[in-house]
Amino acid sequence: MATETHPVAINQLEKALLQLEKCGDLLGLDRGMRDRLGTPDKVVHTHSPVRMDDGAIRMFPGYRVQHNNILGPYTGGIRFHPTVDIDRITGLAMLMTWQCSLVGLPYGGAKGGVTLDPHQLSTRELERVTRRYTTDMAQVFDPHKDIPTPDVNTGPREMAWIMDTWSNNHGYAAPGVATGKPTAVGGTVGRASATGRGVVLALEELLKHQGRSLQGLRVAIQGFGKLGSVTARLLHERGARVVAVSDLTGGLYREDGLDVPDLLGYTKVHRFLKGYAEATPITEEEVLYLPCDVLIPASLGAQIHPGNAHRVQAPIVVEGANAPVTFEADVLLEQRGVLVLPDILANAGGIIVSYFEWVQGSQQLFWTEAEVNARLQDVMARAFKNVVANVETRGLSFRMGAYVEAVGRVANALTLRGLYP
């Protein structure tokens, strides 16, 4: 199993700050503006006591970092994972600010999470943790101030628990307090597949820019959860050949392409990829090093680091996960001519459709899935066009082309609104 960190890799917050400094040089930002952009507005750290199924009380550390709300209310995912800590959450909150800015959403960035392994807890224990964490954040979350969304190991079920808990604590139903909910309680059609769809749309825009198409493209995907499985399905439907996938139990490889529908049926029954007999078993990490046209790391952060960047054979890396390429590895890949489509663009589909859900809930007027998908495609295409303009006119990498666009908008808004008091 691949690990999320590497002994010589810098942490997520340090990476985000280094990228901000690099962007600040390109934009000519003064020290005061850089410090303001690099410092979160608020950091909340909780310790939630939860009664376990055996009657014991266990403490769970929880976090919510609100990075910057100059463009609108905070929003960002809630993740349940053993690696959740304050630096990681702070760095990811900063990335969320840039992502919302890049795709033109009237949102600021936030991130939250609880340090736990969800696979070691029962459903009842997970519900109690979620509801206690939400109660501890009752004055933080708000439909007009800070709207949580799904992230690693959370989804519609957890968002429904958050909405219900917050609503009960405040005495009225508030579907707008969280997005990514089930459609039965105010969610939107298309949200479950939005992040994976956004990855595919971003890749299609890149290929279109290069005069190519998905037809016959050989793609390897690290991760086969709610992001990787949707990405694989949509790529297969559009004519690409998904040659490898993986999850925490290992990977699978077939040179002429995996039967993705059959694989989806298998994991629906068996949950994980382990035991699937119609492909060659490989390790989760080996997926990163296969000869292919496109590599999509769609698992956890820091999967490509200085210790393995030289082994990546794909000429294009599309960041499906948050920060799967470390700062140092990014430099190494760029030196080798590997094109990296950055996470703040490539995985923006989820937050875009979360915004659509929030808007629909406010209007009490819901769109069809075709309308949601069409609007998502429009937003992704517009954001890609802006990034490409920076790449071509300024000679930047795609990552820095995206950062210049995103950070520049936030810095401009801060300047226009001024400093109060």
| Cα end-to-end distance, the chain, whole Å | 51
96 in Cβ contact with 63 (< 8 Å) = no
| Greatest C-alpha distance within the chain | 65
Cα separation, 276 vs 251, in Å, equals 10
Q: For residue 25, how many other CB atoms are within 10 A of its CB? A: 10
What pairing do the DSSP bridges indicate for beta strands 57-68 and 42-51? Answer: antiparallel
214 in Cβ contact with 235 (< 8 Å) = yes
Beta bridge partners of 247: 250
Long-range (24+ apart) CB contacts under 8 A made by 392-398 are: 394/26, 396/26, 397/334, 397/340, 398/339, 398/340, 398/341, 398/342, 398/345
239 in Cβ contact with 203 (< 8 Å) = no
How is residue 109 annotated by DSSP? E
Cα separation, 410 vs 104, in Å, equals 11
Q: Which of 15, 111, 181, 226 is catalytic?
A: 111
Cα separation, 115 vs 82, in Å, equals 5
Cα separation, 166 vs 161, in Å, equals 8
What pairing do the DSSP bridges indicate for beta strands 280-282 and 294-297? Answer: unpaired
Cα separation, 93 vs 50, in Å, equals 26
Cα separation, 177 vs 149, in Å, equals 9
Cα separation, 342 vs 328, in Å, equals 14
> Is 145 one of the catalytic residues?
no
- Give the type of residue at 108: G
Residues labelled as active-site residues: 111
